[in-house]
Amino acid sequence: MEGIIAKRYARALMLLAQKVNKVEPIGAQIAELSEVYHQDKNFREFIAEPKYRKSAKLKTVGDILKKMGVDEQLRRFCGYLLVKNRFELIEWISRSYQGLANSALNKAVASITLPFDIDEKETQKIQKQLADYSGKKIELSVLVDPEIIGGAITTIGSVVLDGSIKNRLNLIHETISRGN
């Protein structure tokens, strides 16, 4: 249920961000705010504590966001979340917003898992190939896992392309086990 509600709030925030042409900066700021909320137990407890008045929460959170340099639109949005007792959804909202922002900005998050590390030149080459494949600007992270033996496992958004030798050996093993 939280995910559905968070998506609605994320869409509303996206509309606000697009209106002021700040999709990327607001995305970075809500991600940072989400991380602060996740990391700071006292902050979470303060938000959840019913004995504090909403006006006190609004003032305190507003001051914190101002010190963080958070955009006016996002500060207002967070105030609205506080008033509606939905601030605890900030992590869900942030994740949903990032997906919407990536789509609006024609970006995709990708990762590639290899059995060995590669240099920056190779990383850029793979990033370009994935951009050509997906038609989107790629934000690539490279992971190293020697257990895949060889090949690569590439993830672009929710699409997984597993070309690892470990996967191929597992497929052969399954085929032999079934007797086909």
3-state secondary structure 49-95: CCCCCHHHHHHHHHHHHHHHCCCHHHHHHHHHHHHCCCHHHHHHHHH
Q: How confident is the model at residue 1 (pLDDT cuts 50, 70, 90)?
A: low
Last residue of a domain, one of 57, 81, 103: 103
CA–CA gap between residue 151 and residue 115 (Å, rounded)? 8
Task: Assess whether 46 and 14 both reside in one domain.
Answer: yes
What pLDDT, on the 0 to 100 scale, is given for residue 23? 96
Render 27-45 in DSSP notation, one character per residue: HHHHHHHHHHHHH-HHHHH
For 12-35, write each residue's pLDDT tens digit: 999 999 999 999 999 999 999 999
Task: Assess whether 87 and 145 both reside in one domain.
Answer: no
Last residue of a domain, one of 103, 130, 147: 103
Collect all residues with Cβ–Cβ distance below 8 Å to 148 and sequence separation of at least 6. Answer: 113, 114, 115, 164, 165, 166, 167
Residues above pLDDT 70, as percent of the chain? 99
Determine whether 32 is exposed, middle or buried from the number of CB atoms within 10 Å of its CB (0-12, 13-18, 19+): middle
pLDDT > 70? residue 180: no
For 97-131, write each residue's pLDDT tens digit: 999 999 999 999 999 999 999 999 999 999 999 99
Task: Assess whether 97 and 173 both reside in one domain.
Answer: no
Task: Assess whether 97 and 138 both reside in one domain.
Answer: no
- Kind and range of the H or E run holding 120: helix 120-134
Please report, for the domain that includes residue 7, its CATH number: 1.10.520.20
CA–CA gap between residue 99 and residue 151 (Å, rounded)? 28
For 66-95, write each residue's pLDDT tens digit: 999 999 999 999 999 999 999 999 999 999
Assess contact for 48 and 82: CB atoms under 8 A: no
Q: Please state, rounded to an integer, the average pLDDT across all residues of the chain.
A: 92
Q: Which residues pair with 107 in a beta bridge?
A: 137
What pLDDT, on the 0 to 100 scale, is given for residue 2? 74
